[in-house]
């Protein structure tokens, strides 16, 4: 073990520096989001995300928003565990019969004013699963929807654009 530590010390750092990732569209969206969030939500937008029966493709894109590349917390957006702390409900997937009651309870637990976004084609229209016996259908059949983000799955930039469009109304 000591030999390995000495070798590591003598060799030093051999990795390259991480290049600065610059995405002008992301920075533009982020600046506009931050401005709207400061104006309408006192500087912080809390999002509660609910998977109502999706294939998890939308969730992967939503999770990407928290990675170091997108880092949405710098714009004042964060995800919360309780609907009681949420300003916005982001619902993915078609609503399955087993999730219908839970989605209604989540919506009812949110403080007003309530904002709801149907994220992805399945949440918007039920997608390919809408004909299933286990599916209620689109989110709008269960709770009122204020905004829609299209895509299968929507990209992180589409998600940010959809949130910006809804909160700037």
The reported pLDDT for the residue numbered 151 is 94
Do 65 and 160 form a contact (C-beta atoms < 8 A)?
Answer: yes
Distance CA 120, CA 56 (A): 11
pLDDT along the chain (169 residues), means of 10: 88 75 86 94 94 93 92 94 96 95 97 94 89 91 96 95 93
Q: Tokens 């109304």, residue? A: 169
Do 45 and 164 form a contact (C-beta atoms < 8 A)?
Answer: no
Distance CA 119, CA 158 (A): 10
Distance CA 14, CA 6 (A): 15
The reported pLDDT for the residue numbered 75 is 94
**Domains defined along the chain, listed by start:** 44-167 (3.40.50.12280)
Distance CA 44, CA 33 (A): 10
Do 145 and 118 form a contact (C-beta atoms < 8 A)?
Answer: yes
The reported pLDDT for the residue numbered 13 is 78
pTM score, whole prediction: 0.84
Contacts of 152 (CB under 8 A, 6+ apart): 57, 120, 121, 122, 127
Task: Specify the 3-state DSSP secondary structure of 92.
Answer: strand
The reported pLDDT for the residue numbered 129 is 82
The reported pLDDT for the residue numbered 19 is 66
């Amino acid at each position: 073990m000591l030999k390995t530590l000495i070798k590591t010390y003598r060799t030093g750092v051999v990795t390259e520096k991480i290049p600065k990732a610059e995405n002008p569209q992301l920075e533009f969206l982020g600046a506009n989001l931050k401005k709207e969030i400061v104006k309408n939500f006192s500087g912080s937008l809390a999002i509660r995300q609910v998977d109502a029966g999706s294939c998890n493709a939308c969730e992967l894109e939503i999770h990407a928003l928290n990675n170091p590349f997108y880092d949405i917390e710098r714009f004042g957006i964060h995800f919360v565990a309780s609907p009681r702390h949420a300003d916005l409900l982001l619902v993915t997937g078609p609503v399955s019969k087993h999730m219908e009651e839970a989605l209604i309870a989540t919506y009812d637990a949110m403080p007003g004013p309530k904002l709801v976004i149907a994220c992805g084609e399945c949440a918007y229209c039920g997608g390919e699963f809408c004909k299933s016996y286990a599916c209620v259908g689109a989110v709008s059949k269960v709770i009122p929807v204020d905004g829609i983000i299209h895509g299968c799955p929507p990209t992180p930039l589409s998600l940010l654009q959809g949130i910006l469009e809804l909160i700037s109304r």
